[in-house]
Structure 1
């Protein structure tokens, strides 16, 4: 029977995810030689080569691929023990990484974080601001917020909230261009939108639903860039109400006629769904979107 150190397995997992000794060393706050030594110790115990060094970094061998799911189970069991043994009165600690759409993270959630820090001062939050699907199975994140429900993976998914988008332009832009009184008037205006081939989700291609063949003269893969460009008066764009309504210089255009509703989904791997720190973040997110529903839907409070 082979007995090996869980810490060696932890180094193996980190190297399988990050691919480079220096990145693992930084994450685990050790020297890169320690990472190499720990992984080598595990290989010697198992009498198997787990990684191949390539120009892209360290990649798993067949033996490493076979070990990976078992190592992830050990990681999950270790985290569960830490959460359970301390008892209910123990202060929640640890790191939780959340994959979140760029606009929702930077223009909505960031303003709510001081309240979370007061509730759980020893939980360290990491945000991966990305509109693509982060891989929860590869532990790119512990939770993810997505525009749709993932179609595969051992995940627990639920709808987090609905939200609304509208067409906006600045007051200065509207003074300098032809008036917009009906949908047909939009054909005379310049639009800001996504780069179609770089859109991570087809749900973001809503501009063509609003106006056929729009004159798009400024494109970006970043919704925050689009927002700032609109705020600078560069054109008309579709923006999240939760962000745009905070700026009085931004005017919703044809709001009774043009609005787009979408949903965010919250996803967690089955094996860590019940961990206390994961539940703390999940519960906080649910509370925030419930309290701020009017903001998310572009409705006035009260």
Structure 2
């Protein structure tokens, strides 16, 4: 191994990772307990060391460059590995016990989390994990849950949030539905099809309109406030709906529609209280979740 190739300063990496996760130098400085100029210098030195620009300034904010996003993915893995090494060295994974409450949407809880939960069971068998499958936002501040998986970044400074994925969603329908109603070829064709709504039809119409999909209440004859129930209706051939690609692409008997259509991209944030993030039990699950949700889905 060429050890010279990895001889950068870990403090610089921490400054970069905190700036990327928090969205600004000032926020990163608060998290790290340092001054903003110090964090800025550490990020600049890492850029010099790597010979690439990690951020570009847009107005008053910092936005990751493509190179910065690639580096961030790797340094998150390094941070997760460092935590796992320290846990193993201390013999803590087998000793960590107690209940941890995770809240996520019912779709996430039912279709995406099970492999991670099995892995967690393997490495920390004495943990008790309680999944709160809810589409509403549980209040981490009131400790209704210890960890939340959400699609909106929290504004409260006492919450710690990490962007772990930018997931993609597409339109799907069951093969049985398409055999009965035909394959839509364009967005305009969708106006002649049935949709399954997640929530209210008015909300779905307002959501679809900016995407160039013109539908009315006549297109919505069935729906549910439960994402799992609504997706089951799609799989049973009762209509069309958007679904995350890592769920829809693996569902048997379901086809992705309009493959040339741009996906709907939505962020996946992992959130916990800053005090809880220092707990070995919460940190283990948080970092395990982060690593699991950040990796590409298996084909």
TM-score bracket for the superposition, by shorter chain length: 0.5 to 0.7
Q: In the alignment, is the contact (CA less than 8 A) between 1:193 and 1:238 conserved in 2?
A: no
Distance 1:132 1:197, change over 3 A: farther
For 2:170 and 2:247, the matched residues in 1 are separated by 11
Distance 1:164 1:280, change over 3 A: same
C-alpha deviations, 1:57-110, integer Å up to 9, x for none? xxxxxxxxxxxxxxxxxxxxxxxxxxxxxx922411111111112111111002
For 1:118 and 1:134, the matched residues in 2 are separated by 28
Partner of 1:187: 191
C-alpha deviations, 1:254-301, integer Å up to 9, x for none? 02214211011111111121110011001111121233x245xxxxx4
Partner of 1:213: 215
C-alpha deviations, 1:130-181, integer Å up to 9, x for none? 1211111211011111110112251111112121111011111111113311
Partner of 1:33: none
- Whether 1:290 aligns to 2:294 is yes
Q: Secondary structure of the equivalent of 2:222?
A: strand
Distance 1:205 1:165, change over 3 A: farther
Q: In the alignment, is the contact (CA less than 8 A) between 1:98 and 1:144 conserved in 2?
A: yes
The counterpart of 2:133, out of the listed 120, 129, 142, is 129
The counterpart of 2:97, out of the listed 93, 98, 114, is 93
- Whether 1:175 aligns to 2:188 is no
Which runs of 5 or more residues in structure 1 are unaligned?
1-86, 296-300
- Whether 1:149 aligns to 2:153 is yes
Q: In the alignment, is the contact (CA less than 8 A) between 1:196 and 1:205 conserved in 2?
A: no
- Whether 1:275 aligns to 2:279 is yes
- Whether 1:232 aligns to 2:236 is yes
Partner of 1:102: 106
TM-score (norm 2): 0.64
CA RMSD of aligned residues (A): 2.3
Pairing 1:11-50 to 2, within 5 Å after superposition: none
Structure 1 runs (4+) deviating above 6 angstroms are none
- Whether 1:266 aligns to 2:267 is no
Q: Secondary structure of the equivalent of 1:224?
A: helix
Q: Secondary structure of the equivalent of 1:273?
A: helix
Q: Secondary structure of the equivalent of 2:243?
A: strand
In the TM superposition, residue 191 of structure 1 has moved relative to its aligned partner by 0.5
For 1:254 and 1:118, the matched residues in 2 are separated by 40
Q: In the alignment, is the contact (CA less than 8 A) between 1:137 and 1:153 conserved in 2?
A: no
Q: In the alignment, is the contact (CA less than 8 A) between 2:270 and 2:290 conserved in 1?
A: no
